[in-house]
Every structure is written in structure tokens, then in C-alpha cells.
Chain A
Amino acid sequence: MNKFSVDLTNCDKEPIHIPGKIQSHGFLIAVDISTYNISYISENALHFLNFSSKDLLDKPLAVVNNLIKTQAVEFDIEDLLKLGIIRRSFDAISPYPIEINERPFYLIISRSQNEWLLEFEPVTLQYDIQSSIGRSASAMLQGRTVATLLKGAAAEVKKLINYDRIMIYKFLDDGHGEVVAEEKEADLEPFFGLHYPASDIPKQARELYKLNLNRLIADVNTEDSPIITFKENQPLDLTNAGLRAVSPIHIQYLKNMGVHSSFSISLISRGELWGLIACHNYSPKFIDYKAREGSKLIGQILSSALEYRQNEEDSEIVKQFKDTAGILAEHLSRDKYLVDALTGHKKNILDVTKATGVALIFENELHTIGSVPSNDEINALAEWLGSSNDESVYYTHRLSEIFHPAKKYKDIASGILSCSLSKELNEMIIWFKPEQISTVKWAGNPDKPVTPSENGLLSLSPRKSFEIWSQVVSNTSEKWLPEEITSVLRIREIIITDVNKKANEIRLLNEKLQAAYEELDTFSYTISHDLRTPLTSIKTYAELMLKNKSIDEHGKKMLGRILTGADKMNFLIKEILNLARVGRSEINLETVDMQSLLKEIIAEVWTAYKADKVELVLGRLPDLKGDKTLIGQVFTNLLTNSVKYSSMVDKPKIEVSAYIDAGEIIYYVKDNGIGIDNRYYDRVFELFKRMDNVKDIDGTGVGLAIVKRVVEKHHGRVWFESKLNAGSTFYLAFKNK
């Protein structure tokens, strides 16, 4: 016998498949699978067979043959059972029509663990229901959408079994149910749209709904009939028995709703219990086996139609997302800039999901489309996302409950779906969904399925009140669909591939540029070298001719001009050669004694430009790590410039000094000369660029280009400050290592 007693701690463990009782509108005989002897029998068999149930126990099944009648002349119930065993199925046998005491009955055979279950129930349907089931199925399938399909199904089931109320009940993600379609008698209060807490249908009951596709509770007020047996402590498993008695808790639940009869049909989609067609009658009402089977068939047709329609609706969404991804991929390959490709067209990253806003954070810039929080809020959110999770995709539909600052903008972004593009740079895309304040109407307060009993202990009792109880759900957006997440992952892959491709293109371009630069250096070197020889010839011939006594003054003057031109050209070539050398030569790092190097250079420059009247101020001159020859060239050029461009000032003054700042040694060369127009700031270091105000001073426009190249080769920086007619200061920053 079933000794299980239900209380609060084990409420969802109640072994409802072994109640030890059956509903009393039929009776049950169980036969041992090896001996074919009767091992269990319901007590109420007496009322149907007029034969003591107890006396049938442990007797061969064949004794029943005398108590029932069939159409067949030589009927043997044991042969019927064996036939099903050989066929491995009772589908073609059940329901088997028989007569007991002149009344028609159906025999339904199924398997328990060690027994065959033989259930007998009265036949009540007088006509063949088969044809109306076909009509019902086709009428139901007219529904194009999931909603109309459900509505149609409810209507057809009502016609078939004629119950007062037919509801289609859908299980939602957290296990609670919602009435999504309803057909009812006009005088009844509607349940459509109501939610039922998950505890109304416990877990193990849902498992049984997956096994038994329909379930009849014929009358909640009749007393169940106990099953008797000689087997101690071996309750009969009634999982497959249609007559299985109902949990007292469920009976009480139905009674509290005023329901007398209940019938349910399982709806299975993708292997899971999608929902139920729940039918209530407010007076006792038995449903004939064949009508139940017909309803079951309607349920199965509805299940597969649901799956198909749902797939159809899902695949429509998937198709749209895929199309968007395709279009974006095309934009990416055609557009120069990633941001333009993703946000600048009619189809953009907002269409990758069903979000209402999107933010793209790329290369330190924020771009948004649609309804989004403020830039500061998005940046703070992005920072939080970057620091708090390592996944490439993160999503929630209750953001403000996890990230509290989001409370301020929950109306815009209660749901976010983010995908990271670069972890290091915290580049990402975030999609937003607004808060959806939904009102859930519960059939009674879902938090109170338990009530304290008189002794103060909590005890399980089904809800007594089904008064509508409303609950407002806030801080929550519509959920992110798996299709949206797949779509985001798809677009992420496309973007990352594109970014990598573009980075690769830039790298290749860089290599080409590098090669071109090197080639140019070699070219400059060769050309200047080769130019020098013929130039030397020109100069030398001119000198030789000057010695010729037959040439007059006029001729000598022209030869003089040739010599000047040749010298100028020679100097220019030398400078270009120097510049090319900076590019070609490897720098030779050593500690350069700046004190002595600068003294050498100053002596040289002062002699060359006869700069005796220049006042020279030398400050701190710390040693530098660098290539002595190249650094010498830099200071020669800078000091030459200072001397040249301050030569026309009354009291020329040149200062050379250095200071240390944040790991850099910064040298500066300052003069009080003619200065540089700041408008030309960017052009000062360009090759062959000379400013308007120095036209009268000799120069090649190569010197500062060399300076810049040398400093950059040392991974240093060069810049200047200048004021027209007040002077210039050139700064050189070298790494202090």
C-alpha cells in the first residue's frame, strides 16, 4: 500500500504514479507477466462482475472468461493478451469491446513493471466519432498564426467533448502557465490571459503529462476504489493506467475552483511539454474512451502544427537577421570605414536584433542609432561591461537589477545585449531594449499556495482563492531570443574578420611604403654620388679656363658664375647625400660627450659663418645615448641655422642647454633671429621647404629634414617654438635610458 503522506517538505515528491487506488467509474485487473495469474485487483470489481474481488486474486486470468461476454464465440481473454504480447503492441486491440451483465464495456490493456494492466470502463458513446475528428482537425488547421491555431483547437475540442470550459494553457520559461486561448459557456467568467503559478502543476505531474497524452478525472466527488493484492510493500505502478486515482491535493484544487470533471490533453513541441488543453466541467462528466482518443489526436495534430508554425515564425526572423548580416558584410567590403558600413546605411546594425537602440564603441568613438541612453551613461556601462565579464557576448533583460546605475535609464535600456569586438581596446556593440511594464494577472496570489494549519505549522493545501491578483513587472525588457544572440554572434564574426582583413591590408601597405622609402634612399645616394663627378669636371674646367690669359674680364665673370653655381649644387648634393645616409645607416649607439661635441661643432660653425659677434650661452649639457656622427649633424644644422638666421640682428644671442623631463633629456637651441611664421609650422621639417622670410639667406631646405630624420631614428621627438622677428627655439627630446 501507498504509505506516502503529503506535507510541505515533499509536496513535489508525492509518488502520484502509485496512488494504490483507481477512479471508480471503471475497474482494474493486473496480471503477473510470467504466470498470467491475477496479482492485483480493484475492490470495486465486485460491483461490475458480481464476484468477490478477493477471490479472484492469485487465480489464472482465464477465470474472468466466465464473467464477461464478447461477440466472438470462443473468446479467451488470455489469448487476447498473448496476441498483443506477440505483436508487441496493444494499439490494434485496445479498446476491446466486451459486455458485462448486458452492459457494453471497453477493455484497455497496458504494461506496468511486472504486470499487465487490464482496465475496464463503460462505453457511453453511441455513434462513431471518427468522421467528426477529421473535420475538427481540418477546421483547426485553417488558423494561419499560432494564436488563431490555438483558438481553433479550443473550439474543436469543445465540440468533441462538450465540456463547459476549454482552455489552452502554455508553460512559460520559469514554469508558470498562462491561458493563451479559451472556449467556454457564455455564463462563465473568462480565464483567458490569466497566469497560474508553477506550483499549480508540480514537476512530476508534468513528467506524467509527457507520458499520458490525455487524462480524465471523471468526478472529483466519487470515492476512489482501493487496489487489493497479496504482495506486501509492492505498490502497483499505474503510470500507464487511465483509471489512475488523482492526487488528493489536485482533487482539492479542482474542488476549490468548483470543477467537477477535468480533462487534459498534452501539447508537446520539440520533445518538451509546450502546454495543455485543460478542460473543465462544472458537473460530473465522463468522456467515452473513443472521444478521449479523438481529443488526443487533435492534441497531437495541434502539437505538430504548433511546432511547424513556430518554426515558420522563427525562421522568418532568422531570415531577416541573416539578410541584414549579408547586407552589412557587403557594406563592410565596399565602405572604407567600418563605422560608416555598420551605421551609415538604411540597413544597419540595429536590424541585427529586435532592439530599439544600438551603440557602437570603436576606435575610442561612440556611435548610436535609435533610442539609447546618454553618451556618458553608455560609456560607464561599457566600462562596467569590459571589467565585469570576459565573455564575447553578454545579455540580460533586467539590467538595472545587476547594474544599478542603469535604473536611471531603465525606460530606454532595461535589456542589453553586448558583444565585444576587442577586449584590449574595450571596443563593443551594445543593443538596447526598453522597459516593458507588464501586468501579470494571476489566478490568485501565486506566492501563497501554502496556508498555516491550526497547530501553527505550515502545511500544504491547494489555493482556495482564484480571485484575480495583479502583479506589475517592472525593470524588465522583452527577453533576448536565441535567434537574436545567434545573429549577434554572426555579425561579430563578420566584423572581426573585416577588421583583421583591413589591419592586414594596412600592414602590407606599410611594408610597401617601407620598401619604397629604402629604394628612395638608395636612389638618392646613388644619384648624388654620380652627380658629383661631372660636377667636379665642370668646376675644374672653369678653373682651368680662368687661368687662360687670353680670356677677357667679361669671360672671367661668366666663368666665376659657373663656379658659384657648381659650388651651390655641390653643397646641395652633399646635403642630400647626408639625408640619404641617415635613412641607410644603422645607428651606432654610444654615450656621446655633448660638452666636447658641441664645442667642436660651435668652433666649426663660428669659423665658417664668421659669427664672432654672436653671444653664446651654454647651459647644462648632459651626455646623450646616440650615434655621435648623426647627433653631430643635428646640432651642426641647428646651430648653423641659428647663426644664419640671427646674423642680421643687432645683438645676436644663441643659447644651447638641456633639461630632464619625465624620462626624456630635452635639448634646446634658442636664438633671437628672424623666427618662423607659425602658419608654416607643419612644413618646417619638410624636405626642400624654405620659408618666405629667408629667401635672401643661403640654404637648401634639407637641414631640418635631416634633423627630424635623425631624431626619429633615435625614437626621440623634435618641435619648435617661434615668433616672427623675435627668435626660434628648437627642442630635441631623447629617451633617457
Chain B
Amino acid sequence: MKTPDIFYVEDDIDYAFFMQSAVQEVKDTLNLTIVEDGTEALVRLQNFAESKTKPKLILLDLNLPGLSGLDLLKFIKEIPYLKTIPVILFSTSDNPDDVKAAIEFGANAYLTKPNGYDNLVKCVHSVHDFWFNHHLRLN
């Protein structure tokens, strides 16, 4: 399997669909892999570590059934091979406590899910511009 550019964990299939569209609209060559639950995400992350392939960016929904976004974040930051991948927490919650927890666990950014498609496209644009700037890339 091809290593994705962006690995996205999202249980809301609607939002996953919007993200797919938005990413394509921003840059149709970007490879986006979406996983719907925490347990499957965990398996995939272990595979990345074993096969020594890693995505350029990980997006985690905060509220997931079973393992939460924070659990996955903790897992990523504990594996030396994965911990350098930028992780963005992506949630509908704007609760300051959630933001604080995410940053404390080592998230590289916390984004509130934008309202509406146009806003989402704008958001993906900025994410792409910031994290996919080749000159600044670590790996």
C-alpha cells in the first residue's frame, strides 16, 4: 500500500467525505487515507512503524468511539519512529480544556472544525501551505 501524505482518523463519514473533497480541491495529487475508528488506526500506525513508512501529516478527530484522539496522540508520541510526524487535533469542540489537553500531549496544532465547506477548503489550504512547505520539512 502506498504511504499516504495525510493520515486522517475520522468516525463521521460525512466529514470524511467533505475532507476528501476539500483536499482534492486544494491539490488533487495529495494522497489522503481516512480510517474510521481508533482501533483500526492503531493497527495502521503500528504498520507504519514496522514498514518504516510514515505519512507527512496526521489529522486526528478528538471524539472517537473506543480509543480517543488523545489516546492515539499519546501512542504516536511514544514511538520514536512516528513521533516526529506533525499531528493536528481536529474537533468540533472549542472547549479550552480540550485544547489544553491536546497541546500537553504533544499535538502540533489544534483546529476547530470549520463551519461550512468553503471554510473547510480555506482551512485545508492553510494546513497544506504550512505543513507541506518542502523547504521546512524535517523528513
Q: Which residues of A pack against B, CB within 8 Å?
A: 532-533, 536-537, 539-541, 543-544, 547, 570
Pairwise interchain contact A544-B18, C-beta atoms closer than 8 A: yes
Q: Knowing A544-B18, A544-B21 touch, does A536 contact B113 (C-beta < 8 A)?
A: yes
Identify A543's interface contact among B12, B14, B116, CB under 8 A: B116
Q: Knowing A533-B12, A537-B14, A537-B15 touch, does A543 contact B92 (C-beta < 8 A)?
A: no
For residue B95, give the distance in angstroms from its CB to the closest CB of chain A. 10
In the complex, what distance in Å separates the CA atom of A541 from the CA atom of B116? 9
Q: Knowing A533-B92, A570-B115 touch, does A540 contact B12 (C-beta < 8 A)?
A: no
In the complex, what distance in Å separates the CA atom of A541 from the CA atom of B118? 11
Within 8 A of A (CB), among B4-49: 12, 14-15, 18, 21
Pairwise interchain contact B115-A536, C-beta atoms closer than 8 A: yes
For residue B80, give the distance in angstroms from its CB to the closest CB of chain A. 36
Chain A residues with CB under 8 Å of B132's CB are none
Of all chain A residues, the one with the shortest Cβ separation from B120 is A540
Pairwise interchain contact A540-B116, C-beta atoms closer than 8 A: yes
In the complex, what distance in Å separates the CA atom of A539 from the CA atom of B12? 15
Query: Can you report 22 residue pairs joining A to B where beta carbons are below 8 Å apart?
Result: A533-B12, A533-B92, A536-B15, A536-B92, A536-B113, A536-B115, A537-B12, A537-B14, A537-B15, A539-B116, A539-B117, A540-B14, A540-B18, A540-B116, A540-B117, A540-B120, A541-B14, A543-B116, A543-B118, A544-B18, A544-B21, A547-B117
Count contacts between A and B, CB distance < 8 Å: 28
Chain A residues with CB under 8 Å of B92's CB are 532-533, 536
For residue A489, give the distance in angstroms from its CB to the closest CB of chain B. 61
Identify B117's interface contact among A533, A543, A570, CB under 8 A: A543
Of all chain A residues, the one with the shortest Cβ separation from B118 is A543
Main SS at interface, chain B? helix
Interface string of B81-125 (1 = CB under 8 A from A): 000000000001000000000000000000001011110100000
Chain B residues with CB under 8 Å of A541's CB are 14
For residue A566, give the distance in angstroms from its CB to the closest CB of chain B. 9
Q: Knowing A532-B92, A533-B92 touch, does A544 contact B15 (C-beta < 8 A)?
A: no
Of all chain B residues, the one with the shortest Cβ separation from A535 is B115
In the complex, what distance in Å separates the CA atom of A543 from the CA atom of B14? 13
Of all chain B residues, the one with the shortest Cβ separation from A540 is B117
Of all chain B residues, the one with the shortest Cβ separation from A539 is B116
Chain A residues with CB under 8 Å of B113's CB are 536
Pairwise interchain contact B117-A544, C-beta atoms closer than 8 A: yes
Chain A residues with CB under 8 Å of B115's CB are 536, 539, 570
A533-B12, A539-B117 given; name 13 further pairs at CB < 8 Å.
A533-B92, A536-B15, A536-B92, A536-B115, A536-B116, A537-B12, A539-B115, A539-B116, A540-B14, A540-B116, A540-B120, A543-B117, A544-B21
Chain A residues with CB under 8 Å of B118's CB are 543
Of all chain B residues, the one with the shortest Cβ separation from A545 is B117
Of all chain B residues, the one with the shortest Cβ separation from A543 is B117
Chain A residues with CB under 8 Å of B12's CB are 533, 537
Chain B residues with CB under 8 Å of A536's CB are 15, 92, 113, 115-116
Interface string of B59-93 (1 = CB under 8 A from A): 00000000000000000000000000000000010
In the complex, what distance in Å separates the CA atom of A544 from the CA atom of B118? 9
Chain B residues with CB under 8 Å of A533's CB are 12, 92
In the complex, what distance in Å separates the CA atom of A139 from the CA atom of B113? 110
In the complex, what distance in Å separates the CA atom of A532 from the CA atom of B15? 13
Chain A residues with CB under 8 Å of B116's CB are 536, 539-540, 543
For residue A571, give the distance in angstroms from its CB to the closest CB of chain B. 11
For residue A568, give the distance in angstroms from its CB to the closest CB of chain B. 13
Chain A residues with CB under 8 Å of B120's CB are 540
Chain B residues with CB under 8 Å of A540's CB are 14, 18, 116-117, 120
In the complex, what distance in Å separates the CA atom of A537 from the CA atom of B120? 12
Chain A residues with CB under 8 Å of B117's CB are 539-540, 543-544, 547
For residue A206, give the distance in angstroms from its CB to the closest CB of chain B. 90
For residue A588, give the distance in angstroms from its CB to the closest CB of chain B. 13
Chain B residues with CB under 8 Å of A547's CB are 117
Chain A residues with CB under 8 Å of B15's CB are 536-537
In the complex, what distance in Å separates the CA atom of A533 from the CA atom of B113? 10
For residue A541, give the distance in angstroms from its CB to the closest CB of chain B. 8
In the complex, what distance in Å separates the CA atom of A537 from the CA atom of B13? 10
For residue A355, give the distance in angstroms from its CB to the closest CB of chain B. 69
For residue A611, give the distance in angstroms from its CB to the closest CB of chain B. 24
In the complex, what distance in Å separates the CA atom of A536 from the CA atom of B118? 12
In the complex, what distance in Å separates the CA atom of A532 from the CA atom of B92? 9
Of all chain A residues, the one with the shortest Cβ separation from B117 is A543
In the complex, what distance in Å separates the CA atom of A532 from the CA atom of B93? 11
In the complex, what distance in Å separates the CA atom of A536 from the CA atom of B116? 6
10 residue pairs, one from A and one from B, having the closest CB atoms: A543-B117, A537-B14, A540-B117, A540-B18, A544-B117, A539-B116, A543-B116, A540-B116, A536-B115, A543-B118
Chain A residues with CB under 8 Å of B21's CB are 544
